[in-house]
Chain A
């Protein structure tokens, strides 16, 4: 074989070609159309940022993704910790409870939430049986947050568990034996050591939440529309490729900015921990 053909880069070539054809070229089309359709210029972007309706949806998308991230963290942190603290059989059961919803398709799980949250659904029946007023959950922001939190929780638990599994618990014991109260030992030793997992899980959940389509589309109505749904409507229903494209570019840009901030933040953290050694 000629030497050039032995380069490992050749092995990567098919994947790169696939990405150029099915990812790069389509993304380029979105960007081009957002600046040229129906006429060249920044029209689609000024339209987006000048309409209060669009800005409401824009901020709502961040608000929902933020709430979902916080709720996933609150629910996932103790759960991931427990996974590291139990015996092998119990751990297997806890892992199974995370993996089953992770693998069962998002459409099916959203269907279950539609059934649960509908006006005559299970949750409302329980609420009314307890003597309270009927609560409107489906087609509201609360409903979307509830559904998305459940769908995205595995993405928080897995990175948390991966990091917590590697934490040396003797460090916590050492802190305790030196007289630290349990709360202080947790806050000063365990929590900082688990932060990479917290950070990784939060970034994944927030980014997935920003671009989430299926759950907001089915659980949210006109009053809980998110950016993905709005962009989809512009293209498929209104045939406004330019406006839909501009929303897509804005969504993509927000995601990239967040990732860049996250990357910078982790790098600086590593530098600090590396420097103190």
Chain B
């Protein structure tokens, strides 16, 4: 490859990287706007929209609901998904493959179809706007991510270690907690994280099943954006962006450090 071609590809990819990250950054200055407007660039400086997150029950309430639902979903989906991944790993290829394909379906069904169906069922059973309703729907959506993450860990797990523990007299339960679990912990942890984020970001099902008393943050953001130009959305978005970038950066840094040492 000539030098010129190399430079051109570098410029092109720098542009793509910029296009991936930069547009989202536009919300940061907006979050400090002085007037109630989403115009860019904003005039003046104020922290009132950050204060508004805390003061307005619509915002603080939806953040608390989202965190609560996402935390429960993370635990429920991780437990059920990890069990399923372990079962799949022990099954024969044929039936295991079919079951695996079935368990991945939540990823490919278009969100709106699911949302209509879940809304119909929840209306019939008085589950609209209930914690159980959110947890049930979001756990189902998160299961495939847990199965994929834990399954990847199990694929490289040496099952002879379990046999060794059993031959030394450990019960199945002891073997699981002292041998299997510590070794597949990274997969379970990333499954947990995926499940949390799946629930925290989910918008379409939540848009159908929310109620004034229980709504999640994405629904509140969506409602605010379609209703008026309130920079509080930008303040919330900025917080999400900073927290997410920080978590990923720390994760990547820890990952490379461990691999090098």
**Chain A residues in the interface with B (C-beta under 8 A):** 1, 8-12, 14-16, 18-19, 21-23, 25-30, 33, 75-76, 78-79, 81-82, 88, 92-101, 103-109, 111-116, 118, 120-122, 125, 150, 153-154, 182, 207, 210-211, 213-214, 218, 227-228, 231-232, 235-236, 241, 244-245, 248-249, 251-252, 255, 259
Of the candidate stretches B45-53, B135-143, B160-168, B177-185, the one touching chain A is: B135-143
**Residues of chain A within 8 A of B17, CB atoms compared:** 79, 93-94, 97
Task: Identify the closest chain B residue to A258 (Cβ).
Answer: B108
Known contacts A79-B13, A153-B20; is-contact A111 B197 (Cβ 8 Å):
no
**Known interface pairs A14-B80, A150-B19, A214-B203; A26-B143 also in contact (CB < 8 Å):** no
Determine if B186 is an interface residue (Cβ-Cβ < 8 Å): no
Contact status A19-B105, CB under 8 Å:
yes
Whether A248 contacts B113 by the Cβ 8 Å rule is yes
In the complex, the answer to whether A248 meets B225 with C-beta atoms within 8 Å is: no
* Contact with A255, one of B16, B109, B121, B172 (Cβ below 8 angstroms): B109
Report, nearest first, the 3 A-B pairs whose CB atoms are least far apart.
A26-B117, A211-B110, A11-B87
Q: Are A232 and B13 in contact (CB under 8 A)?
A: no
Does the CB pair A33–B23 fall under 8 Å? no
Q: Is the CB of B252 within 8 A of A96?
A: yes
Is there contact, CB below 8 Å, between B84 and A15?
Answer: yes
Count how many chain B residues have C-beta atoms less than 8 Å from C-beta atoms of the other chain. Answer: 80
Known: A25-B121, A150-B19. A231 touches B116 (CB 8 A): yes
- Return chain A residues, CB-CB under 8 Å to B90: 8, 11
Contact indicator B16/A75 (Cβ below 8 Å) = yes
Given contacts A78-B12, A228-B112, contact A182 B1 (CB under 8 A): yes
A19-B103, A78-B13 as given contacts; A213 in contact with B204, CB under 8 Å? yes
Task: Evaluate contact between A112 and B83: CB separation under 8 angstroms.
Answer: no
| Given A228-B112, A231-B116, also A111-B233 (CB < 8 A) | yes
> Could you say which residues of chain A place their CB within 8 Å of the CB of B233?
111
Residue contact B245 to A100, C-beta cutoff 8 Å: yes
Check B192 for interface membership: any CB of A closer than 8 A. Answer: no
Q: What CA separation (Å) do A21 and B30 show in the bound complex?
A: 43
How distant is the Cα of A23 from the Cα of B218 in the complex, in angstroms? 22
Name the CB-closest residue of B to A26.
Answer: B117
- For residue B234, which residue of chain A has the nearest CB? A111
Q: Is the CB of B84 within 8 A of A11?
A: yes
Known interface pairs A81-B9, A104-B24, A248-B117; 15 further A-B residue pairs with C-beta atoms within 8 A, sorted by A's residue number: A12-B99, A14-B83, A15-B83, A16-B84, A16-B99, A33-B120, A97-B17, A107-B222, A125-B40, A211-B113, A227-B112, A232-B207, A251-B113, A252-B110, A252-B113
CB distance from A149 to the nearest CB of B (A): 9
Contacts of B204 in A (CB 8 A): 213-214, 228, 232
CA distance A79 to B252 in the complex (A): 19
B26 CB within 8 Å of chain A: yes
Partner of B244 from A103, A111, A207 at Cβ < 8 Å: A103
Sample of 12 A–B contacts (CB below 8 Å): A21-B136, A21-B140, A97-B21, A99-B252, A107-B203, A108-B240, A154-B20, A213-B112, A214-B222, A218-B226, A231-B116, A232-B116
Q: Which residue of A99, A115, A228, A241 contacts B110 across the interface (Cβ within 8 Å)?
A: A228
Q: Please indicate the chain A residues that have their CB under 8 angstroms from the CB of B248 in the complex.
A: 96, 99-100, 103
Contact in complex: B197, A103 (CB < 8 Å): yes
Are B136's CB and A18's CB within 8 A? yes
Q: How far is the CB of A104 from chain B (nearest CB, A)?
A: 5
